Each structure stands twice: as C-alpha cells, then as structure tokens.
Structure 1
Amino acid sequence: MEEKKQTVLTLKFIGIDDFSCPTYQDQYSRLWKDLNLGHSENPDLYSVTGNDMDGEPVSPIRQEHIFDPEPFRRNPYEFQYMLLSRMQSDCEYFLGYGNRSVTILSRNDPQHHIDRMKELWEELPADGKPEWLTWEQLLTYEKAMCNE
C-alpha cells in the first residue's frame, strides 16, 4: 500500500482578529489562528470555525507547515508604547480641556507623571524610540505641566 504524501502548508500572515490572535492563511485559503497571540517563537495554530476571520479556534494544526515569510511576532515593547501613548494623551488633556486638573495624571502629580513617562521612554531600545514622542517633547510637557 502506497503512503500518501501530505503537502506542506505555506502560511501567510493576514492580520489580527478581534481577540488579538494573529491569523494566517494557507495556500488552500484555510485560516489558522495563533493562540499564543504572537508572543512566542512557535505559534500555537488552530483551525477556525466556518473558516471565518472572527471564528473560534477549533483543532490544532497537524500538518507540516512553513511560514512565508516569517511568523508574526509582537514587539516586546508593545505595552510600553501603549502606556506611553496613553500618558501622552493624558498630558494633552491636562494642558487642554482638563483645565490642569491633576486627577487624570499618575498619582495626581504632574512631576511623577512626567518622570514615569521618561522611565518608559528610556526603557525603549535606541532604534525603537517613538517618532510620535521625542525626548524634547517630553521636556516641553514637563516645562508646561510642572513649572507653573
């Protein structure tokens, strides 16, 4: 009896679903979700109900597969970027519609808020500093918020 050879699946990253699962599509248009959410070297892939982007994960992948080009991986500094962005929005609100109310700031203290932003900014790698918030902008926020 001849052994039937399985085709290797080629998976292409197509996006992130509403539950933060990186989603891949194979050459047969089947969808696969990474239940590790892109945090691992080896995606934990599952088929999807109804082959729908918003479908639930069903069965683990059992077929040999490769990624083209590479599996999606989240930036290890993703949380720091999100928090820094939120804290920047808080600065804008404090200086604008917030009428300098400290209740939106970290520990209700403008200097503590800025100091925490500086810490987050410095934690980021040199080649990964945000373009949307420079060190000079941080100093400008500090001057506007802390030096009354």
Structure 2
Amino acid sequence: MAAKLTGQSLSVAPRPKGGETEKITINLGPVDLGQIDLLVEEGFYANRTDLIRTAIRNQLAIHAQAVGETVSRRALVLGLQHFSRQDLEAVRAANQQLEVRVLGLASIASDVTPELALATIASIEVLGAFHASSAVKAALAERIS
C-alpha cells in the first residue's frame, strides 16, 4: 500500500475491512506534506500512507456514533454485500426486487447478466465501492444513486 506523489497530489490506498482496497487521491499543500515527511523521517510513522490512514481512522473513530446512527436510520448494510447469480435468480423466482443500500462494498458476481440485474434490483445506494461488470453497471445506471 504505497503512497504515490505526483506534484502535490498524494494517492493513498486505504484498507477497508472485508474487501479489496480502493485508491483515493488527496491534494496537500507543501507545508502539510513537509510536516508529514518530517514525522516519517523521525520515525513516528512508517511512511506517508501510514500517517494518512491513521489520521483517517482517528477521524472515523471520533464520528463513530454519528455513523452508526445514520447507518441504522438509513437501513444501510455496513461492510460487504455480495450478490451471486443464484441470489438474484432466487429473488426473480420470488417475483421480488431488491433495494440495495450499503456502506462499504457492494458487489455483483461477474456471471450476472444485465437482464437479471434489471429484473431483480430496483435501486442501489452505495457509500464506498460498487463492483460489477461494466455491462451490469451500464444497465443499472439510472437506478444507482
């Protein structure tokens, strides 16, 4: 998980629990970046990514109660939610549709067809990452918020 510096942009790949990582990019001023480098040189952190990941986790810990209350109020699944072809075929057989609401990672198996996804998924709200084939994403584009 290395940080990559380009000019004054720093790319960081955070490590969420229970899934793959997603890369984010942040822009920092030279003074902030210099202070980070100083703390790394002095041994407080292993590298830039370690400091930034720690800072993000500290902020998330500060706001944990608000996140928990919002997850509950909005009826979000917290973590990882995966839909296999068999899952969606069972939903279709029951003549139902899903409202997918995830804070974390939502994924749809690569063997799910766009037609099956359209028949079984009424809406998708993902705060985090959504993994599906490009064909399924395109088919569901109007249902993704």
| Range of TM-score over shorter length | under 0.3
* TM-score computed with the length of structure 2 as normaliser: 0.26
Q: Which of these two proteins has the greater Rg computed from alpha carbons?
A: 1
* TM-score computed with the length of structure 1 as normaliser: 0.26
